[in-house]
Structure 1
Amino acid sequence: MKNALLRLKLLSSVGFAAVMIAAGPAQAEQKPSESRTVRQSDTVDVTGASDVNRVSESYDAKGVDLGTFLFFPQIEVGETYNSNVFAVQNNSKGDWITSVHPQFRLQSRFPVHALELSGGLDRYDYATYHDDSRTDGHVSADGRINATKTTEIKLAGNLAHGHEDRSSSDAVAAASRPTPTDTINTLLSVKQVLNKLTLTGAVGVDRLTFENVDTNDGSIVRSNLRDRTEITFTQRGAYEFSPGYSGVLQVSENQREYDELDANRIDRSSSGYRVEGGLGLDISQLIKGDILVGYFNQDYSSSALRSSSGIGVKVALNWTPTQLTMVVPALERSVQETTTTSASGAVRTAGSVLVRHELQRNIILTGFASLTRNEYSGAGQSEWVSEARGTVTYAFTPEVFARGELAERIRRSSVDSMGYEQTTTMVRLGLRF
């Protein structure tokens, strides 16, 4: 029955996309050219991960000309001190971590459509706790087809190998090493502009797998019981009732299918939906993003797991009050997966604000602060997680840059042993072309 339902939803989403394509061209909206020094991105950069790309255009990497493509190679080498490597409440242990991050980006220069390929490796070597040394990597592809002046089709895929952070609520504290994970993400979306109405349909499929790990006493942690496939269908309508202001209605459904029962012989598979509406903003280069409020519900296959539901909130904005400063507030309430005993899911309320300021054309200052509340449905467990981070990015030339960062992360849990405090200090030197 579930498989039949998934096929029906997939067909309905594809049919919705086909209807939008067939609707035909309308007058394309003309956007003003970019004039800000601190540039906005099409997607809200909540964490500040792209700070290295925020310096003035005169310090941008030029790339290697490959005809219809530009090739952007980059490598960073860094040193980090982590005051609490294992993210524990008592007897914390610190360590120095040497890291190397080679990356590449291949960007098309097609006259109409677009294609971008990217990838990278992340190598971390611990000076003392060698079992935590690891190599992560990813490759991604993003394509855009402008079928008509007002019809846009996007297809994105990502393949990543990583390791679960020791600070994760689902991480096993006694594991001898971080849990290796593999993720495959795919997303197909179609956007159709019909004068003042913009319709978007999207289908996302994510595959997550976890590798078993040993514990310090020699037993095995069956992390592979968390292997699952997640499918999400999203349909969105936005009507521009005034220049730069749109009324938004967004509906999404999901299916989360686990390969096996968990360690307590419980089926954690679930299905859910989210309905939200609100305001979409696209006011020149001043502010972009959404302010949405609605309702979410997640039902689980096992009667032993309680449904998770409640008020849903999603706020994500890029606000540029001056040419030198950008403010990125974000707030979201949603249901996350968890393996916490007796808990069906984690209802997460996360708020954050990032402030980015161009001190000089080649110096970017970034401050980030977040506060997250996790409530574990059915387990009577909750926690607060706070984070603060300050980053300086300095470009010596378009090819050479440096970054320094100081961060503090604190978790306070209703389960005493789950709390911790962690401070990290990082310095990196980068080379790009």
Structure 2
Amino acid sequence: MSRRVTTVLLSGVAAACLAVALAVVGDAQAQQARGPALRNTVPAYVAQPRPEASESTAGPASPIPDSISDPAAPIRNQASAVSRRAPPRASRSVQSPNLRGVTQRQFRPPQLDVTGLPPPPEPPPPTPRRRTAEEDPYAPLGLRLGNVIYKPAVTNSIGYDSNPQRVSGPSKGSGFSRHEGELGIQSDWNVHELKGSLRGGYSEFFRESDASRPDGDGNLDLRLDASRDTRILLESRFRLDTQRPGSPDLNAPVVGRPLTYQYGGSAGVTHDINRLQLTLRGSVDRLDYEDARLTSGATLSQRDRNQTQYGLRLRAGYELTPGFKPFVQGEIDQREFDQRADSNGFMRSSNGYTARVGSTFEISRQLTGEVSVGYQDRKYEDGRLKNLRGLIGDAAILWTPTPLTTVTLRGTSELGDTTIPGSSGTTARRASLEIAHALRRNLTVTGFGSFGSTEYDGQGLREDFSTLGVRLDYRLTRTVAIRASFTHERLNSTAPGSDYTANVGQVGLRLQF
């Protein structure tokens, strides 16, 4: 029985040896038949003797691995075309004294290309792009024409005004409809920049047709980058407004609200010298007044108030830090009236000199703005009018204490003109505060208030104007929004019969693109 088992074992071993020999011969013949093509594709180290291994793995060189415990076997199995044995499973551990417990997947010997040189390292996988949170998911996308983006908007509202004519004493309220259109402009150029905003509206009162009035304002700015350090600045602006019937400059009772037109432009150049920035700008502005219609049916001419103002301004700013740039500014201007003398015989053309210091600042991402203060001296052509002097200033501060809250503070002080006999002009000061808070991503409530004071030089006349209100914006989509507001207005004047109070509420639908 043992002899039969021995004979069977010997026969199996012989058959295995014969099969191995036939496989080697077949591969050698196939390699010889393929010729140079195979020699170019088989790595050079396959035909060479196996490198000397450690004592535990030492053995005769063989093109076929004897067992999976040989650490060189995976190299030959992957690189040699003559081996037909399937690679071991990744989960099986390599039972080698030097690689004990290391799986096939963990043990990855270096791969060699057909030239025998190690391949270049694989590039790292691309870093996934970070998805930045959208600042305002309900903001309009705008309409792109070429490389300029336009953002039009239309608002139609209905409301109620308790004092449409802004008259003193008892008044008759009236419902009204308001129609307003806006257009924002922003270029998308590699160099240069074009930006601007235009707005126009009309309020139509149902019971007080004489109180119906238009209003509007806008500006358009173009920056041309002549070089890295030199820029050309072109600006245009306009404003359309009306006069209230009780204004001190309307020395007679009038019907309706006469229009006023302000428009102009400026051109300048800015040059940077390291941290020093110099700006020279010239401007021309025009102010026209519409004739007023008196209650008697006659016409009150206001042509003596029409004027043109020319100005030249030089500004030098130095950037102490990236967020702090103080500046000094000097300006001269000339106001020329169309009529040399007004209706009272005063020649009101004048020359003004202004000096100003201030700074732009960015204390943090949450607090930015510009503040300046100065002094102006205005000399009139008529010797009977004394020089008008006083402090002037401007302020614009934007504070974002939280991502949901924005606080905007603005203020200005300036010297103006008047037609009141014996008065050289006016000193007007304005301040406004606006706080906007987002209750939800598409629901914003805004509280606002303003205060203004106008003093008429030499007359003891003063008017204090204040407003207080709240506005609610509910954006349904990027295109459709609902807007509601309530405003309380009050004017206190030292002139008898000029005080008034008004309450205005309205709600409307806004379409923006």
Check 1:348–1:135 CA distance in 2 against 1; reply closer, same or farther (3 A cut): closer
2-structure distance, mates of 1:203, 1:192: 15
| Equivalence for 1:103 | 182
Does the aligned pair in 2 maintain the 1:161–1:182 contact within 8 Å?
yes
How many residues align structurally? 381
Picking from 383, 390, 396, the partner of 2:463 is 383
Picking from 133, 143, 159, the partner of 1:64 is 143
1-structure distance, mates of 2:351, 2:219: 28
1-structure distance, mates of 2:182, 2:508: 14
Identity of aligned residues (%): 29
2-structure distance, mates of 1:131, 1:88: 13
What secondary structure is seen at the aligned counterpart in 1 of 2:319? strand
Deviation at 1:229, TM superposition (A): 0.6
Alignment of 1:387-402 (within 5 A): 387-402=467-482
Check 1:112–1:185 CA distance in 2 against 1; reply closer, same or farther (3 A cut): same
Does the aligned pair in 2 maintain the 1:80–1:425 contact within 8 Å?
yes
| Equivalence for 1:286 | 366
| Equivalence for 2:493 | 413
Picking from 194, 213, 221, the partner of 2:292 is 213
Check 1:135–1:295 CA distance in 2 against 1; reply closer, same or farther (3 A cut): closer
Deviation at 1:325, TM superposition (A): 1.8
What secondary structure is seen at the aligned counterpart in 2 of 1:418? coil
Scaled by the length of structure 1, the TM-score of the pair is 0.81
Check 1:36–1:150 CA distance in 2 against 1; reply closer, same or farther (3 A cut): farther
Check 1:337–1:362 CA distance in 2 against 1; reply closer, same or farther (3 A cut): farther
| Equivalence for 1:163 | 242
Does the aligned pair in 2 maintain the 1:201–1:234 contact within 8 Å?
yes
What secondary structure is seen at the aligned counterpart in 1 of 2:254? coil
Does the aligned pair in 2 maintain the 1:79–1:96 contact within 8 Å?
yes
| Equivalence for 2:413 | 333
Unpaired runs of 5+ in structure 1?
Answer: 1-34, 38-55
The CA deviation string for residues 21-41 of structure 1, in whole angstroms up to 9 with x for no partner, is xxxxxxxxxxxxxx999xxxx
Return the letter of the residue paired with 1:430. R
| Equivalence for 1:149 | 228
What secondary structure is seen at the aligned counterpart in 2 of 1:148? coil
Return the letter of the residue paired with 1:216. T
Decide which moves more: 400-409 or 281-290. Answer: 281-290
The CA deviation string for residues 115-150 of structure 1, in whole angstroms up to 9 with x for no partner, is 246545423221011123344566753212122233
Scaled by the length of structure 2, the TM-score of the pair is 0.69
| Equivalence for 1:128 | 207
2-structure distance, mates of 1:58, 1:362: 8
Return the letter of the residue paired with 1:317. I
Alignment of 1:295-310 (within 5 A): 295-310=375-390
Check 1:195–1:167 CA distance in 2 against 1; reply closer, same or farther (3 A cut): farther
Matched, 1:317 2:397: yes
Return the letter of the residue paired with 2:172. K
What secondary structure is seen at the aligned counterpart in 1 of 2:167? coil
Check 1:383–1:180 CA distance in 2 against 1; reply closer, same or farther (3 A cut): closer
The CA deviation string for residues 327-362 of structure 1, in whole angstroms up to 9 with x for no partner, is 222333221222334322111232332222222222
| Equivalence for 1:114 | 193
Return the letter of the residue paired with 1:280. T
2-structure distance, mates of 1:377, 1:425: 36
2-structure distance, mates of 1:321, 1:284: 11
Alignment of 1:147-296 (within 5 A): 147-159=226-238, 161-166=240-245, 169-171=248-250, 174-260=253-339, 261-296=341-376
Aligned-pair Cα RMSD in Å: 2.5
Does the aligned pair in 2 maintain the 1:86–1:167 contact within 8 Å?
no
Pick 1 or 2: higher relative contact order, CA cutoff 8 A, min separation 6.
Answer: 1
Matched, 1:427 2:507: yes
| Equivalence for 2:447 | 367
The CA deviation string for residues 68-125 of structure 1, in whole angstroms up to 9 with x for no partner, is 2333332110123221122122122222221112333444322212224654542322
Unpaired runs of 5+ in structure 2?
Answer: 1-131
The CA deviation string for residues 365-417 of structure 1, in whole angstroms up to 9 with x for no partner, is 22222222221112221122222122122211110112211112212111122
2-structure distance, mates of 1:93, 1:173: 21
Does the aligned pair in 2 maintain the 1:85–1:166 contact within 8 Å?
no
2-structure distance, mates of 1:332, 1:142: 22
Deviation at 1:314, TM superposition (A): 2.7
2-structure distance, mates of 1:302, 1:375: 21
When Rg is computed on C-alpha atoms for both structures, the one with the higher figure is 2
1-structure distance, mates of 2:182, 2:320: 43
Check 1:262–1:384 CA distance in 2 against 1; reply closer, same or farther (3 A cut): same
Deviation at 1:309, TM superposition (A): 0.8
Deviation at 1:306, TM superposition (A): 2.5
2-structure distance, mates of 1:271, 1:323: 47
Decide which moves more: 119-128 or 267-276. Answer: 119-128
1-structure distance, mates of 2:222, 2:357: 28
| Equivalence for 1:53 | none
Does the aligned pair in 2 maintain the 1:184–1:207 contact within 8 Å?
yes
What secondary structure is seen at the aligned counterpart in 2 of 1:229? strand
Check 1:364–1:237 CA distance in 2 against 1; reply closer, same or farther (3 A cut): farther
Deviation at 1:281, TM superposition (A): 0.9
| Equivalence for 2:6 | none
The CA deviation string for residues 196-229 of structure 1, in whole angstroms up to 9 with x for no partner, is 2222222221111112121111122112221111
| Equivalence for 1:15 | none
Check 1:328–1:65 CA distance in 2 against 1; reply closer, same or farther (3 A cut): closer
Does the aligned pair in 1 maintain the 2:165–2:244 contact within 8 Å?
no
Decide which moves more: 126-135 or 114-123. Answer: 114-123
More strand by share: 1
Decide which moves more: 157-166 or 342-351. Answer: 157-166
| Equivalence for 1:26 | none
What secondary structure is seen at the aligned counterpart in 1 of 2:226? strand
1-structure distance, mates of 2:261, 2:156: 24
What secondary structure is seen at the aligned counterpart in 2 of 1:188? strand
Return the letter of the residue paired with 1:355. I
| Equivalence for 2:158 | 79
